[in-house]
Homo-oligomer: A and B are copies of this chain.
């Protein structure tokens, strides 16, 4: 349930120009309005499961888009039951100005996107539920300018072709292959979002080597029994999953309202030190591996922070 400090589940992923919303609890549209991001004209929303604290923001957001006269279609992906659920909410929302497309997916389904794919996996929450992995394509290796110069590759379209992985024939008849001028292929990033779940071997497999694993820690270890009864996990269990999956950064969400955050982080860090428990409007930046490691930007999406940044600029 929400607290004065924390809204229920919603996570916005921005990658290049793409904005992907994972879960949409009550109040999400207004949290976006209150953030520096704004209520974007989202094109795709991904639902992990249909418990009230993950979906009750959908009908109001649908309605607001309609009041703004939206014409762009909106696609919502979720596990089995999506069509049934949103059908029952339709009469509250009324007529929309745009096409609302509902897509049910099964664990193991993959959605291909430009430069990445979204893979789903089963989680253990006792209901129809999915985890989502954003897995980027492997990127070509770094272009070695000195090697290209030495080989006599002219500055121009030939270098672009090599970077795209094509062979190039030079005026003197020699063939230059991409591997002659490119470093080793560079891995893409991998972000895994489980939604609500008990710990499971499927999650360890799905999250293997992820740069970032966003999972739940509804309880601390003192409430282990309650976590098991309700198909949730403790901070300790989440940390064990992160450790076994060898992830870069563990991001814990979905805390019970009796926890404030630091106690959950402390419990998890005893097992997996690279753990954070973000607050609302915090941002996690996930750079390419050669540029740094995933890290928290406190209040990175808060309007107030932007104002503070402005007001602390030289007068």
* Interface pair B92/A56, CB less than 8 Å apart: yes
Residue of B26, B27, B29, B88 touching A91 (CB-CB under 8 A): B88
Instruction: Give 1 or 0 for each of A10-45: 1 = CB within 8 Å of chain B CB.
Output: 000000000000000111011001100000000000
Residue of B27, B60, B91, B303 touching A30 (CB-CB under 8 A): B27
* Interface pair A26/B56, CB less than 8 Å apart: yes
- Known A-B contacts A59-B56, A60-B26; A92 and B89 likewise in contact (beta carbons under 8 Å): yes
A contact residues, total (Cβ < 8 Å): 34
Q: Is A224 an interface residue (CB 8 A)?
A: no
Q: What is the distance, in angstroms, from A55's C-beta to the closest C-beta of chain B?
A: 7
Q: Chain A interface mostly helix, strand, loop or mixed?
A: helix
Q: Is A195 an interface residue (CB 8 A)?
A: no
Q: What is the distance, in angstroms, from A154's C-beta to the closest C-beta of chain B?
A: 53
* Interface pair B94/A52, CB less than 8 Å apart: yes
Copies of this subunit: 2
* Interface pair A2/B26, CB less than 8 Å apart: no
Instruction: Find the B residue at minimum CB distance from A84.
Output: B91
* Interface pair B33/A3, CB less than 8 Å apart: yes
State in angstroms the CA–CA spacing of A50 and B92 once bound together.
7
Could you pull out 28 A-B pairs where Cβ atoms are within 8 angstroms?
A: A1-B29, A1-B64, A1-B67, A1-B68, A2-B30, A2-B33, A4-B30, A25-B60, A26-B30, A26-B56, A27-B27, A27-B30, A51-B94, A52-B59, A52-B63, A52-B94, A53-B60, A53-B63, A55-B92, A56-B56, A56-B60, A56-B92, A85-B92, A88-B88, A88-B89, A88-B91, A88-B92, A89-B89
